């Protein structure tokens, strides 16, 4: 028997892969997300909505696969790139990123003009 994952959508976030930015703090100690991170997360959501316009967030377990392509050796931490994508898709692709049961992140250097992130996700359909 093997696990069965039903592919749902694959889309590309073009350009230099962006890592999740560290929270910033106001003078009064309140944490906030940097604008560049909010903009990058919005881009992910917008591209997801174009790829899967009728999709409702699933309650199923999720497999998330990311192919992160860097141009000319400009590499970011893969875990921070994955965190930005998974946080952005909360409430859009799935209800909560705790549903991600399988995560695969592949990094590729020197992608040139093909820099970006190929995002694929599937839902778990049990054993066959």
User: So what's the pLDDT on residue 2?
Assistant: 57
pLDDT greater than 90 at residue 103 = yes
* 122, β-bridge pairs: 7, 63
Residue at token pair 């699933």: 58
pLDDT greater than 80 at residue 127 = no
Are 97 and 86 in contact by the 8 Å Cβ rule? The answer is yes
Topology of domain 3-127, CATH: 60s Ribosomal Protein L30; Chain: A; (3.30.1330)
Distance between first and last Cα of the chain: 5
User: So what's the pLDDT on residue 56?
Assistant: 96
* 5, β-bridge pairs: 124
Q: What is the pLDDT of residues 12-69, one digit of tens each?
A: 999 989 989 877 787 888 787 888 999 999 999 999 999 999 999 999 999 999 999 9
């Amino acid at each position: 028997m093997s696990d069965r994952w039903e592919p749902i959508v694959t889309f590309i976030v073009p350009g230099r892969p962006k890592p999740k930015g560290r929270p910033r703090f106001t003078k009064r100690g309140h944490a906030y997300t940097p604008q560049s991170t909010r903009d990058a997360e919005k881009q992910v959501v917008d591209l997801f909505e174009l790829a899967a316009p009728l999709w409702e967030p699933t309650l199923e377990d999720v497999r998330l696969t990311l192919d992160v392509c860097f141009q000319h050796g400009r590499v970011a931490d893969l875990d921070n790139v994955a965190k930005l994508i998974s946080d952005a898709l909360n409430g859009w692709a799935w209800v909560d990123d705790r549903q991600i049961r399988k995560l695969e992140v592949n990094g590729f250097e020197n992608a040139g003009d093909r820099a970006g992130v190929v995002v694929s996700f599937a839902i778990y359909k049990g054993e066959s």
